[in-house]
Amino acid sequence: MAMKQVARSAFKAVANSGSSSVLTRQLHASPGSKKIVGVFYKANEYFTKNPNFVGCVEGALGLRQWLESQGHQYIVTDDKDGPNCELDKHIPDLHVLISTPFHPAYVTAERIKKAKNLQLLLTAGIGSDHVDLKAAAEAGLTVAEITGSNVVSVAEDELMRILILVRNFLPGHHQVINGDWNVAGIAYRAYDLEGKTVGTIGAGRIGKLLLQRLKPFNCNLLYHDRIKMDPELEKEIGAKYEEDLDIMLPKCDIIVVNMPLTEKTRGMFDKDRIAKLKKGVLIVNNARGAIMDTQAVADACASGHIAGYSGDVWYPQPAPKDHPWRYMPNQAMTPHISGTTIDAQLRYAAGVKDMLERYFKGEEFPAQNYIVKEGELAPQYR
Amino acid sequence: MAMKQVARSAFKAVANSGSSSVLTRQLHASPGSKKIVGVFYKANEYFTKNPNFVGCVEGALGLRQWLESQGHQYIVTDDKDGPNCELDKHIPDLHVLISTPFHPAYVTAERIKKAKNLQLLLTAGIGSDHVDLKAAAEAGLTVAEITGSNVVSVAEDELMRILILVRNFLPGHHQVINGDWNVAGIAYRAYDLEGKTVGTIGAGRIGKLLLQRLKPFNCNLLYHDRIKMDPELEKEIGAKYEEDLDIMLPKCDIIVVNMPLTEKTRGMFDKDRIAKLKKGVLIVNNARGAIMDTQAVADACASGHIAGYSGDVWYPQPAPKDHPWRYMPNQAMTPHISGTTIDAQLRYAAGVKDMLERYFKGEEFPAQNYIVKEGELAPQYR
């Protein structure tokens, strides 16, 4: 009975912090109607263009009929920031908040404090850094993701971005749409991926899938992680373990970031660390924008020290019009999209339904899905 | 002695065609100074930006010192078309013409007729359709490529283009540079590659390398070719043979073109064949532009029957400013670049040097490099 365990632990955590607010909360899945709020991006005219487009406000993860037929209330919105936003109206009485990394509902300590009925925070996708996890743990909340729902989607996207940078795709495409033709202007900095050194920081689910897809490209593959793979898997994947990140990084022609945003990783690619990278390094970051020092990346792209930067993650999201990464040279950026392909949406919608079913029944979630459980953070977030 | 064999065969071929011009030609590698002409794209300001940029006019494949030290004359130009172009000035007395598919010197029957000393046509790269091969065979010329020099480069580029189309990369990137943020406008037609059906027409060197790189993506892989792979290789690559092209094509979510341009393949993707493809099909063509009916492709992109088209080959090249593929929706085109990465340039420059050395010594070329030998076309061009 997962939620009952959470309740006990929460009591302890909050009791330790000296607050008594926990006594007014129902932290287990009690019977009866729940108020569930989903925060997703809005599709507008795009919604009707694809019957499988479930990941938007209009699609509502395909859960409305199912939830309402069981007597639950289901509010869905994209209005998540600023005073009087729709989300804030529901904070005082919601039981479950579902959000995605693509249009994140920032769950601050302040919002948690106001959310007296809140029990469960679900991320439809991977990456729960939009939640103040410490505050969530202290309040006895459960935070969980649909781990695995879009790991293939993100790994494929990373390999695409590596190739786009290595092969200098975008300047060529822009020649086409501008009416130009200048092969030399592309070729002088276009390379094969074969033979290059590619290092991933983090070799969890996504990092491993990326390495497997890189294997036939005959690169020199390196990985840094908290944990070394077992030797058999390492041999199958063909990547070499680098225990010391700062020894690995200067060896890399291409660096891929595959770790969560935590207090340890926030801003870790700052001016000093970037200065130690190979001149002309390429960086792919589909993890989180705030792992980078925004201005340091923009400056290194301008100087040419970073020869190309591609990713789909920014801070904050949506990225403001004046975000420097929109304007820096040799960027191959997109909005946050890699984990929200139609295939990924169908998988994380099914995953959210499964988790809610378990929640209503008071059952455990799959172990790998927990980010905060019984006041404890998952290892990758510690 | 390759060239002597060519001479005999050429005599026969031309004698059969009723001409006597062959009697005035020197079709074997006689001792003494040769006039060699190279036609490459011009680099201008980009030349000095990379010391390995050898594939341009200024780089001249790095052969100038070596050729001139042996008493040969070496002319290099990008001026290949129109009246009074530089190439035409040298046609009457050149012995060897080197060109590339990226900036092709179109060797017509008329030019061949005027080139009384011509013995050898070398393609620095792969694909010799810029030469009138029938006319070259009848004139007893040898046509050869640097087979294998850029097959990895092209296969990598094809996989990049598949991902760019499947994942709908470009509209997202254009949002970034236009100051927008609209995840739904990308996501409604973005997919994973995993689970999709990918068919390659042609599974020669490039097609096989592509299939090997696709294998970890867990797709349904199909191939059509003149020749079925041996069962062991087929199993290793994990692709299924389709004997009948028109049975394979409607099964494909993604079609990749990997065959040479010949009289049989010219315009084979016409209006009728495209109409039989799956609605929403994606097409990648790094082979040759003229395999497509230009307007039929543009019309099918406009109607949405083709949901995305990407390639780096056009007809003619350079593509004129009003080429319809520059303006059609959902295109991910570039100028002809995939086989002229810096890595590829170094390989085909080394290959051209090796072939010239053999030519000067009257030695055979590697068998797979011949496109026209002793009046006969290589099988893929018949």
Q: What is the DSSP string of B2-13?
A: HHHHHHHHHHHH
Question: How far, in Å, CA of A122 to CA of B350, rounded?
Answer: 57
* Of residues B185, B188, B213, nearest to A217 (C-beta): B213
Whether A93 contacts A116, CB under 8 Å: yes
Question: How far, in Å, CA of B373 to CA of B145, rounded?
Answer: 12
Chain A residue numbers touching B307 (CB-CB < 8 A): none
A18 CB contacts (<8 Å, ≥6 apart)? none
Residue B256 CA to chain centroid, in angstroms? 14
- Whether residues A186 and B337 touch (CB distance < 8 A) is answered with yes
Q: Is the pLDDT of residue A171 over 90?
A: yes
- pTM here is 0.91
Give B58-81 pLDDT, tens digit per residue: 999 999 999 999 999 999 999 999
Chain A residue numbers touching B337 (CB-CB < 8 A): 167-168, 172, 183, 186-187, 190
Residue A169's alpha-carbon distances to A195, B159, B170, B281, B333, in angstroms, are 19, 12, 11, 22, 9
The SS3 of residue B118 is coil
Chain B residue with minimum CA distance to A336: B183
DSSP letter at B192 equals: -
Q: How confident is the model at residue B25 (pLDDT cuts 50, 70, 90)?
A: very low
The three-state (H, E, C) secondary structure of chain A, written as one string: CHHHHHHHHHHHHHHHCCCCHHHHCCCCCCCCCCEEEEECECCHHHHHHCCCCCCECCCHHHCHHHHHHCCCEEEEECCCCCCCCHHHHHCCCCCEEEECCCCCCCECHHHHHHCCCCCEEEECCCCCCCECHHHHHHCCCEEEECCCCCHHHHHHHHHHHHHHHHCCHHHHHHHHHCCCCCHHHHHCCCCCCCCCEEEEECCCHHHHHHHHHHHHHCCEEEEECCCCCCHHHHHHHCEEECCCHHHHHHHCCEEEECCCCCCCCCCCECHHHHHCCCCCEEEEECCCHHHECHHHHHHHHHHCCEEEEEECCCCCCCCCCCCHHHCCCCECCCCCCCCCCHHHHHHHHHHHHHHHHHHHHCCCCCHHHEEEECCEECHHHC
Chain A residue numbers touching B340 (CB-CB < 8 A): 183, 187, 190
Interface of B with A in 191-250 (CB under 8 A): 191-195, 212-213, 215-217
- Both tokens of B187, joined, read 């996501």
The SS3 of residue B306 is strand
What pLDDT score was predicted for residue A240? 98
Chain A residue with minimum CA distance to B44: A184
Q: Is the pLDDT of residue A376 over 90?
A: yes
Chain B residue numbers touching A342 (CB-CB < 8 A): 187-191
Q: Is the pLDDT of residue B238 over 90?
A: yes
Direct distance between the N- and C-terminal alpha carbons of chain B, in angstroms, rounded to an integer:
25
Active site residues of A: 150, 288, 317, 336
- Whether residues B185 and A46 touch (CB distance < 8 A) is answered with yes
What pLDDT score was predicted for residue A297? 98
Show the CA angle centred on residue B224, arms to residues B220 and B225, nearest 5°: 145
Q: How confident is the model at residue B18 (pLDDT cuts 50, 70, 90)?
A: very low
What pLDDT score was predicted for residue A32? 84
Chain B residue with minimum CA distance to A165: B160
- Whether residues A335 and B183 touch (CB distance < 8 A) is answered with yes
The mean pLDDT of chain A is: 92
Q: How confident is the model at residue A28 (pLDDT cuts 50, 70, 90)?
A: low
Q: Which residue pairs, CB below 8 angstroms and at least 24 apart, start in B301-305?
A: B301/B328, B301/B329, B301/B330, B301/B331, B302/B328, B302/B329, B304/B279, B304/B280, B305/B274, B305/B275, B305/B277, B305/B279, B305/B280, B305/B281
Starting at the edge strand found earlier in the chain, the sheet holding A120-123 runs A73-77, A35-39, A96-99, A120-123, A142-145, A370-373, A376-377
What value does the mean pLDDT take over residues A215-219?
98
The answer to whether residue B119 neighbours chain A at the CB level (below 8 Å) is: no
Backbone phi, then psi, for A262, in 5-degree steps? -135, 180
- Counting DSSP H helices and E strands in chain B, the numbers are 14, 13
Residue of A41, A157, A169 best to disrupt the B interface, most CBs of B under 10 A:
A169
Residue with the bigger pLDDT between B382 and A30: it is B382
* Of residues B175, B195, B216, nearest to A216 (C-beta): B216
Chain A residue numbers touching B194 (CB-CB < 8 A): 152, 156, 343
Residue B77's alpha-carbon distances to B35, B113, B134, B357, B371, in angstroms, are 14, 21, 26, 22, 24
User: Which helix (H) or strand (E) is B257 found in, with range?
Assistant: strand B254-257
CA distance B101 to chain A (A): 11
Which residue from B234, B227, B232 is spatially nearest to B211, judged by alpha carbons?
A: B234
* Of residues B157, B217, B344, nearest to A156 (C-beta): B217
CA distance B270 to chain A (A): 23
Residue of A341, A342, A347, A348 best to disrupt the B interface, most CBs of B under 10 A:
A341
Q: Report the amino acid identity of residue A156.
A: E
| Residues paired with B97 in a beta bridge | B37, B121
- Whether residues B337 and A183 touch (CB distance < 8 A) is answered with yes
What pLDDT score was predicted for residue A338? 97
Q: Is the pLDDT of residue A21 over 80?
A: no
Question: How far, in Å, CA of B158 to CA of A52, rounded?
Answer: 28
CA distance B26 to chain A (A): 36
What value does the mean pLDDT take over residues B2-19?
36
Per annotation, catalytic residue among B95, B205, B336, B347 = B336
* Of residues A42, A179, A186, nearest to B321 (C-beta): A179
The SS3 of residue B351 is helix
Chain A residue numbers touching B159 (CB-CB < 8 A): 163
B283 CB contacts (<8 Å, ≥6 apart)? B254, B255, B256, B257, B269, B297, B306, B308, B309, B310, B311
Residue A319's alpha-carbon distances to A102, A290, A323, in angstroms, are 11, 12, 6
What pLDDT score was predicted for residue B29? 59
A70 CB contacts (<8 Å, ≥6 apart)? A360
The answer to whether residue B23 neighbours chain A at the CB level (below 8 Å) is: no
Per annotation, catalytic residue among B90, B95, B119, B150 = B150
Whether B255 contacts B199, CB under 8 Å: yes
B285 an active-site residue? Answer: no
Q: Is the pLDDT of residue B321 over 70?
A: yes
Interface of A with B in 313-332 (CB under 8 A): 317-319, 321, 325-326, 331-332
Give A247-292 pLDDT, tens digit per residue: 999 999 999 999 999 999 999 999 999 999 999 999 999 999 999 9
* A to B CB pairs, distance under 8 Å: 210
CA atoms within 13 A on the CB side of B372: 27
What pLDDT score was predicted for residue B382? 84
What pLDDT score was predicted for residue B32? 85
Whether B190 contacts A340, CB under 8 Å: yes
Q: What ipTM describes this predicted complex?
A: 0.91
What pLDDT score was predicted for residue B15? 36
What pLDDT score was predicted for residue B6? 35
A189 CB contacts (<8 Å, ≥6 apart)? A168, A307, B49, B50, B342
- Whether residues A193 and B338 touch (CB distance < 8 A) is answered with no
* Of residues B50, B333, B343, nearest to A173 (C-beta): B333
What value does the mean pLDDT take over residues A313-326?
95
A382 CB contacts (<8 Å, ≥6 apart)? A262
What pLDDT score was predicted for residue A81? 94
Q: Is the pLDDT of residue B333 over 90?
A: yes
Whether A374 contacts A380, CB under 8 Å: no
Q: Is the pLDDT of residue A19 over 70?
A: no
